[in-house]
Structure 1
Amino acid sequence: MENERNVDAVVLVGGQGTRLRPLTLSAPKPMLPTAGVPFLEHLLSRIREAGITHVVLGTSYRAETFSDHFGDGSAFGLEIEYVVEEAPLGTGGAIRNVFDRLRADDVMIFNGDILSGVDLGELLATHRDNAADVTLHLVKVADPRAFGCVPTDADGRVEAFLEKTANPPTDQINAGCYVFRREVIEGVAADTVVSVERETFPGLLSAGAKVMGHVDSSYWLDLGTPLAFVQGSADLVRGIAPTAALSAPVGESLVMDGATVADDARIIGGTTIGAGAQVGAGALVDGSIVFGRARIGDGARITRSVIGTGAVVGARAVITDAVIGDDAIIGADNELISGVRVWPGVSIPDGGVRFSAPS
């Protein structure tokens, strides 16, 4: 990346990940195992590949888990610093909260739960070539109604920030990655709750600041829901989403060291089987994440689901679009489907829950 030494990276990882509960009861969302490693490793690998080496993590919820895992960053080819947000400050406040750790003229800011294929070098080039105050990564989506829209003019300059609407005027949405001039961050009110989307960006437009959009159609996924989380992990395993942190060649599955899989079990769809996990005879695990030490019984069928650390899924159980918490026990012949979430440590007896009549 051009002038990489004059770019800092800030990753916002302070959220509680409530939409992913119960998975996030024990770990922050960016630290959940995703294609074999904490999700944040995938993002940091792309930051390092782009030539950025100084990273500031804005933490809050279970802040110690980040520093315990990443330390000073040297094992990852980075220099990592940590700033703990003692009280929620919003996205803009969280960015301002790390200002004292910034060194570079330009600062690339990432939401810590976005999986993206944007070319970071091109994003920075857009920012610098236009001498912008702020540049936003904007991604085109098929259905923008679920998002706020960001229209740009013919030169790529941002015209407005629009709330969700039934008839969006553009298919461009805020993709959660920005480049700021450091002076702009200094101008955000300190120690105050500030929304970058609702206050900072509209305020910059009103003040005549130059806010540019970098528009592309690269891979992009918000990992905020269980279905998106398992899809993102599967896309990383299959090589659909970019990363430099995968521990094995891309393929239909990733089986971590110490896991055991029966010869006739089928592990497909980008599934990850965590370290020390066991998959029994005749089982099918499709497009799912099985955390470490979990046990999948003979003939069980797991589809687009997350099985927590140490959880047990009994023989012939069917788990579809579901989340099974850490150390939960799902007895044989249960059917858990359509968004069911089982909290950690809960035990469901054999045949205790079914969505169809037993055969």
Structure 2
Amino acid sequence: MKALVLSGGAGTRLRPITHTSAKQLVPVANKPVLFYGLESIAAAGITDVGIIVGDTAEEIRAAVGDGSRFGLTVTYIPQHAPLGLAHAVLIAREFLGEDDFVMYLGDNFVVGGITDLVDEFRAARPDAQILLTKVPDPRSFGVAELDADGRVARLEEKPAHPKSDLALVGVYLFTPAVHEAVRAITPSARGELEITHALQWLIDRRLKVSSTVISGYWKDTGNVEDMLEVNRSVLELLTPGHEGSVDDATEIIGRVRIGRGATVRGSRIVGPAIIGPRTVVENSYIGPSTSIAENCRVTDSEIEYSIVLSGSSLHGVGRIEASLIGRDVEITPAPPTPAAHRLVLGDHSKVQISA
């Protein structure tokens, strides 16, 4: 069995962060989201992985390499434009051959991994198997409609009027039967080859498409809110440990991990929280559900329920929360006068300013 991991796409919902970084490499608890997926694939006993890459191909290659650090053998498959999940299967035909495979969206996060799902698929071997979960607003997802016996009857991609609240999770399992399906379908109204259409093609021809409704934790980390929530959930399972320097004037409460070479002075850190290697925290408060990456500096500041990427600094800022702060960012207080805001913002930024 092989794996096909999708790591293309522009990551428009995470701009401006993704103007300079692949969305699959934005860190959760100081580890790229993509790495969690690759670790889950390896844990399921799959070692041969194809990674679909687009404009951020070089960054993905630099981060993942040949896959050996994960116990994997990685093949990179270029996709010239994000033309849909079924298109990814189409262009990966040579790599996939006649093997069964799991398709994993590189920006998705499934707590507990996929080992049980892969074992279930190997035992029953339907033509396709999908994961479903209930969501409050299914209009942003592929949506499944089940019949009275719980079998998949119909699938729609981002419907305006969903017939159920069951959304497709970004993990799919296929036999080679899917290859005929992706060749048979045509682009949707948005110009993409939809995997939901390929699955419906299989259903219409009475091939077996099974589903598993999961009640565990799953998130598509494509926007800031979900990224922060995934970060919170991962930190809840954090193993505490201190590899840096913490002075006697610092108070550490709960699950806190302090990376090698980090320095904490005169501060209060309330877990779950993680401080990356070589980061300096002085006279500051780090609150729950906060990840601060390597080589950062936080002085005379307060921050909680946030993610701070590498090389950034916060100095003298009263309170920051529910924020995603990119690499090499500097945050400082505004001068007291004149009463105006001075901003340097990237494309598609969102800013909230008090009146």
CA, structure 1 residues 41+131, in 2 after alignment: closer, same or farther (shift >3 Å)?
Answer: closer
CA, structure 1 residues 75+124, in 2 after alignment: closer, same or farther (shift >3 Å)?
Answer: closer
Is 1:309 the counterpart of 2:310? The answer is yes
Offset of residue 130 of structure 1: 4.6
Counterpart for residue 286 of structure 1: 288
Offset of residue 226 of structure 1: 1.4
Correspondence 1:189-338 to 2 at 5 A: 189=183, 194-239=192-237, 252-268=255-271, 270-298=272-300, 300-332=301-333
CA, structure 1 residues 124+196, in 2 after alignment: closer, same or farther (shift >3 Å)?
Answer: farther
Counterpart for residue 11 of structure 1: 5
- SS across alignment from 1:170: coil
Offset of residue 354 of structure 1: 5.9
Offset of residue 45 of structure 1: 1.1
Q: Deviations over 1:246-278 (max 9, x none)?
A: 8969x733332222222432242x333232222
Offset of residue 91 of structure 1: 1.3
Q: Give the partner amino acid of 1:294.
A: C
Counterpart for residue 54 of structure 1: 48
Q: Deviations over 1:221-265 (max 9, x none)?
A: 11111121122123222229xxxxx8969x733332222222432
Offset of residue 305 of structure 1: 2.5
CA, structure 1 residues 145+257, in 2 after alignment: closer, same or farther (shift >3 Å)?
Answer: same
Counterpart for residue 354 of structure 2: 355
Q: Is the 8 A contact 1:257 1:275 kept in 2?
A: yes
Is 1:184 the counterpart of 2:178? The answer is yes
Q: Give the partner amino acid of 2:325.
A: I
User: TM-score w.r.t. structure 2 length?
Assistant: 0.80
CA, structure 1 residues 119+287, in 2 after alignment: closer, same or farther (shift >3 Å)?
Answer: closer
Q: Measure the CA separation in 1 of the matches of 2:169 and 2:141.
A: 10
Offset of residue 150 of structure 1: 0.9
Q: Measure the CA separation in 2 of the matches of 1:276 and 1:118.
A: 30
Q: Give the partner amino acid of 1:215.
A: V
Structure 1 stretches of 5 or more lacking a match?
1-6, 241-245, 335-340, 345-352
Q: Measure the CA separation in 1 of the matches of 2:212 and 2:306.
A: 34
CA, structure 1 residues 171+87, in 2 after alignment: closer, same or farther (shift >3 Å)?
Answer: closer
Offset of residue 19 of structure 1: 1.1
Q: Is the 8 A contact 1:138 1:215 kept in 2?
A: yes
Offset of residue 114 of structure 1: 0.9
Q: Measure the CA separation in 1 of the matches of 2:235 and 2:127.
A: 37
- SS across alignment from 1:58: strand
Counterpart for residue 65 of structure 2: 71
| Count of residues in Structure 1 that have an aligned counterpart in Structure 2 | 328
Q: Deviations over 1:112-153 (max 9, x none)?
A: 111113663432354355542211111234564654431223
CA, structure 1 residues 342+16, in 2 after alignment: closer, same or farther (shift >3 Å)?
Answer: farther
Q: Is the 8 A contact 1:148 1:162 kept in 2?
A: yes
Q: Measure the CA separation in 2 of the matches of 1:232 and 1:180.
A: 27
Counterpart for residue 108 of structure 2: 114
Offset of residue 53 of structure 1: 1.0
CA, structure 1 residues 277+104, in 2 after alignment: closer, same or farther (shift >3 Å)?
Answer: farther
Q: Deviations over 1:295-314 (max 9, x none)?
A: 2121x221323333322212
CA, structure 1 residues 165+278, in 2 after alignment: closer, same or farther (shift >3 Å)?
Answer: same
Q: Percent identity?
A: 31
Q: Measure the CA separation in 2 of the matches of 1:255 and 1:26.
A: 27
Q: Measure the CA separation in 2 of the matches of 1:39 and 1:277.
A: 21
Counterpart for residue 350 of structure 1: none
Q: Give the partner amino acid of 1:213.
A: S
Q: Measure the CA separation in 1 of the matches of 2:102 and 2:91.
A: 15
Counterpart for residue 89 of structure 2: 95
Q: Deviations over 1:50-73 (max 9, x none)?
A: 111111111112111222222221
Q: Is the 8 A contact 1:324 1:342 kept in 2?
A: no
Q: Give the partner amino acid of 1:236.
A: V
CA, structure 1 residues 88+222, in 2 after alignment: closer, same or farther (shift >3 Å)?
Answer: closer
CA, structure 1 residues 165+10, in 2 after alignment: closer, same or farther (shift >3 Å)?
Answer: closer
Q: Measure the CA separation in 2 of the matches of 1:185 and 1:26.
A: 34
User: TM-score w.r.t. structure 1 length?
Assistant: 0.80
CA, structure 1 residues 97+145, in 2 after alignment: closer, same or farther (shift >3 Å)?
Answer: closer
- SS across alignment from 2:260: coil
What CA RMSD, in Å, does the superposition of the two structures yield over aligned residues? 3.1
